[in-house]
Chains A and B, each alone.
Chain A
Amino acid sequence: MSEITNSPLDVAPLVTRGSKGSRLGLGTVIVVAVLLAFAPAITGDATTNDLTQFFILLIMAVGWNLVAGYGGMISIGQQAFIGFASYAVLDLSLHGVLAWYGVPIAIVLSGLVSIPVSFLAFRLRGGYFAIGTWVIAQVFQLVIGQQSNLGGGAGASLNDLNNLSPITRDDITYWFALALCVLALGVTGFLLRSRIGMALVAVRDDEHSAAATGVSVVRTKRFIFILSAAICGGAGALLIISNLEVQPNSSFAIQYSAFMIFMVLVGGIGSFEGPIIGAVIFFILEQTLDNYGVWYLVILGAFAIIVTLWLPRGIWGAIDPRHRRSLVPLRYELHVDEG
């Protein structure tokens, strides 16, 4: 602020989107994404599958960060959309739609189904919103768990892709996951650069002031909620084409919320980079603590508490405490030319 007022009026400050570093970062991200596209050709099938799982986690983290970090809505019911999309792919395949085509359709359907959900959930605020979304997820699980054509409580298998060799199937799934991951990150990044992104930050920081400056708080939040549901739906659709089976208890597991919250908190809530860092850490933890079974979840919960209390802005917040750096060009940067 003071720099603007101190500068003589004839030297206009130069406002650019992003710094040199962040544009370099964006370039790196694109190069990495392109390189990753060739991974199945280089690495073995096991690595490909691991990476697929990682992308699914990252997509979930991006979805939850959007609704909680930017929308300010702590939802613990995003598993509703994960499970819904998994089952949508299954249902579509039972009606003759090949699973590959089912994935984008399921994503759209997840977004659509979140609209009526938002009207109910938005009646609640803060903590009660959180439990409300949980109840709604339970309703999704109970209703879908009773559809006998979808396997009822026992679940069902996706038999659609059985004619493909496992390796081909895994590779295609991998590309789907990579594409959706890039898409989710891209949409989030694009969104944050847009007017909505600014409205969003305004709403998150101070709902009343944002409303006073003409931002439609409810509309903005609803848009975010729908987008987050679609992204979580993407993760759900990927889960069924990689696992080839669904079951109500696991497809709608509250654990997904725990994972999402953990990743976003540890990485840095409300930052673009946070979910990426969080997903990497979570993925490594998951691989290393796999043998510890339940203890692994205990550690996860304890970590969530510790990070919330002592590192509230996560690892990215510690790297970038003053919001100065950015991996990709998202924010406006002000350059005052002194000469």
Chain B
Amino acid sequence: MIWLNAVVQGLLLGGLYAIFACGLSLMFGVMRLVNLAHGDIGVLAAYFSIILIEHLGGNPLWTFAAVVPVAALVGYFLQRFLFDRALDGGELSPLLVTFGLSIVIENLLQQTFGANDQSLNIGALSYQSWKIATDVYVGRLNVIIFVIAVIVIVGLQLFLSKTRTGLALRATADNRRAASLSGINPKRTRSIATAIALATVAIGGLFLAMRTSFAPTSGSSDLLFAFEAVIIGGLGNLWGTLIGGIALGIAQTVGSQINAADGILIGDLVFLAILAFRPQGLVGLKSEVAR
């Protein structure tokens, strides 16, 4: 039963990783930009929520309504004023700029809030659980996070396949030149992609902060998990990202079951094994990795 429990907990954790991963994947798809500050922005969102609760009070759940739109707006302008410029500078520039941004965010947070662990207190929801089998309990919050993760992925998928803007994003991801020749505004498209990415990573950041404690430097590990989920699942495929997140989550919880300190390491090893033996990912069709 402890193994079943580990798998169930891992599955639920995987939803959170998928939320973190889908924005990373979207930005890479649309503009070949890997945002190394992706995880840090999620953590920044969590601190933003803490400030709001400190000043306005209430249950942190309401702060989604404030933090997520702000994140989207920040994403839109971050793309306009920083990332677009970095993309003009060649292949290396976006990496160096986003790495610089990551360092700035992490250390500003450390300066402002100190290095201590924090968490978002959501009251009873954090410990209520459902019993689904003997000795297998699932936290209500974890189930909610998983359900919202699936909703985010499905919603994003529908947005991409059904709307004009979604079409513009897919077209830009496929062929940038042809997209602009078809009248698609490349700047606007890139900004929208980043806005979505930051909105989703803000959702992930808030959930992470409700689920567990976090610190200014948590963003790095969030980035690594998101990245592992993307590669495990297979590039350019949102369902793959969800599957990849779940696979990573299960690897980590089962790993922790084997040895409490081994969770992250087992997750990393699953990632490396995928890289070595199935580089197209679990769901991916493309034979080529990360071009």
Contacts and interface: CB of A to CB of B under 8 A. Distances in A.
A–B contact at 8 Å CB threshold (below):
yes
Interface of A: 68, 72, 74, 76, 119-120, 123-132, 134-136, 138-139, 142-143, 146, 254, 257-258, 261, 265, 269, 293-295, 297-298, 300-305, 308-309, 312
Interface centre among B36, B103, B111 (most CB of A within 10 A): B103
Contact of A74 (B96, B103, B262): B96
A308 B93 contact: yes
B34 A123 contact: no
Nearest to B271: A135
B152 interface: no
B32 A142 contact: no
B91 A128 contact: no
Interface in B223-245: 223-224, 227-228, 231
B115 to A, nearest CB: 9
A128 B33 contact: no
Interface in B78-117: 82, 85-86, 89-97, 99-104, 106-108, 110-111
29 contacts: A119-B276, A120-B275, A123-B279, A124-B231, A124-B289, A125-B289, A126-B32, A126-B91, A127-B28, A127-B33, A128-B227, A130-B99, A135-B227, A139-B269, A142-B268, A265-B96, A297-B106, A298-B103, A298-B104, A300-B103, A301-B101, A305-B96, A308-B86, A308-B96, A308-B97, A309-B85, A309-B86, A309-B97, A312-B89
Contacts of B147: none
Contacts of A125: 289-291
A304 B268 contact: no
Interface residues of B, number: 48
B268 A297 contact: no
B259 to A, nearest CB: 9
Contact of A258 (B89, B99, B108, B272): B99
Contacts, number: 140
Interface of B: 28, 32-34, 36, 82, 85-86, 89-97, 99-104, 106-108, 110-111, 220, 223-224, 227-228, 231, 261-262, 264-265, 268-269, 271-272, 275-276, 279, 289-291
Contacts of A68: 92
Given A127-B28, A300-B103, A146 B261 contact: yes
Contacts of A304: 96-97, 99-100, 103
